[in-house]
Amino acid sequence: VSGSPSMLAESIHSVADIVNQMLLQVGITNSNRKPDATFNYGYRRERFVYSLISAVGIFFLGAGFSVMHGIHGIMDPVPSENVWIGITVLSASALLEAYSLKVAYASLRDNAKAQGMTMREFVASGKDPTSVSVVAEDAAAVLGCGIAGTALFLADATGNPMYDAMGSIAVGGLLGVTAMYLINSNRLLLLGRSLGADKMQTITEHMRRDPVVEEVYFAKSEELGAGTYRFSAEVEFSGKQIVERYLAKNKRRAALQSQFSEATIRGDSAMMDAALSHYGEEIVQAVGDEVDRMEKEIVKLEPSIHYVDIETN
């Protein structure tokens, strides 16, 4: 209708937003599938794959086409037509996008408040990347409508179509910045970033204070999905402390002394072997109980950890 490069660029922006929302929905649906024999930890990361596909599409198709069309408009400028129809459409679009931004921002703010975090902390934590993406895209859409409308108005007011072409390039640049932000965010999530140095230090220090632990080695964490982590570590246990805690907890000291004394007095090697074998099984079980206890404490300390793997060093 208008032949405006800025209008075309913003139209591409709108189409990119729609496609992105569709891909996000597909990713969310697929990521909710339960773990199976092929993917033991589930499909949580699949939403990031679709979001990354969308971001790459926005960068190459949306941003690239808008910038190229703007450059073409500078090299071969053509006056726009029906300018006020275009400005009216952009104004209506800006109002709708602003309302969508308000709703998305309120949802993000409420989620951050529920987690006891500031908005900046919540966004950095990556616990709700989908909502962050929606807010970023809506903000870019509102700004894009403003850029396109301003460019179209200046082109009409001055009679210089260069402003319109420059508006197309600016919208393309905005799409590119948004796409790069989304690409980097999803790259970090797909790589499986750690909990962070502070939280890892808190967990390992808690483990080292445990009476049955002598040292903690190779503590690692990995993000499996939005705000869902796996933690692993190798632990050097104190055999003396495990035995003491086991004997005190189960009141087995007297019974074990009696069994070993009787086997020694009788000189019965079979009886001694049986007593040692039974004692060994009980100690192995005691180690397992201590590991289970530590895993529960770690999850309680950091609820975002859903899987804990502790191995003996």
- The secondary structure of 49-106, three-state, reads HHHHHHHHHHHHHHHHHHHHHHHHHHHCCCCCCCHHHHHHHHHHHHHHHHHHHHHHHH
pLDDT value, residue 310: 93
Low-confidence winner among 20-24, 34-38, 76-80, 86-90 (lowest mean pLDDT):
76-80
pLDDT value, residue 2: 57
Fill in the amino acid letter for 306. Answer: H
Fill in the amino acid letter for 184. Answer: N
pLDDT value, residue 127: 65
| Average pLDDT rounded to a whole number, residues 196-208 | 93
Q: For residue 8, is pLDDT > 80?
A: no
The residue with greater pLDDT, 128 or 77, is 77
Confidence grade of residue 126 (pLDDT, cut at 50, 70, 90): low
pLDDT value, residue 109: 87
Confidence grade of residue 171 (pLDDT, cut at 50, 70, 90): confident
Residues paired with residue 232 on neighbouring β-strands, in sequence order = 220, 309
pLDDT value, residue 221: 94
The residue with greater pLDDT, 6 or 200, is 200
Confidence grade of residue 222 (pLDDT, cut at 50, 70, 90): very high
Low-confidence winner among 6-10, 44-48, 99-103 (lowest mean pLDDT):
6-10
Per CATH, domain 5-191 is 1.20.1510: yes
Residues paired with residue 8 on neighbouring β-strands, in sequence order = none
The string of pLDDT tens digits covering residues 175-193 is 898 888 888 888 888 888 8
> How much of the chain, in percent, has pLDDT values that exceed 70?
96
Fill in the amino acid letter for 28. Answer: I
User: How many other C-beta atoms lie within 10 A of the C-beta of residue 103?
Assistant: 13
Mean pLDDT for all residues in the chain: 85
pLDDT value, residue 89: 85
The residue with greater pLDDT, 102 or 185, is 102
**At how many degrees (to 10) do helices 129-158 and 5-31 cross?**
170
Cα–Cα distance between 175 and 290 in angstroms, integer? 53
244 phi/psi in degrees, rounded to 5: -60, -45
| Average pLDDT rounded to a whole number, residues 252-261 | 71
Q: For residue 216, is pLDDT > 90?
A: yes
**Domain layout of the chain by residue ranges:** 5-191, 197-312
Q: For residue 94, is pLDDT > 80?
A: yes
pLDDT value, residue 234: 95
Contact 214, 238 (CB under 8 A): yes
| Average pLDDT rounded to a whole number, residues 116-134 | 75
Fill in the amino acid letter for 225. Answer: G
160 phi/psi in degrees, rounded to 5: -110, 105
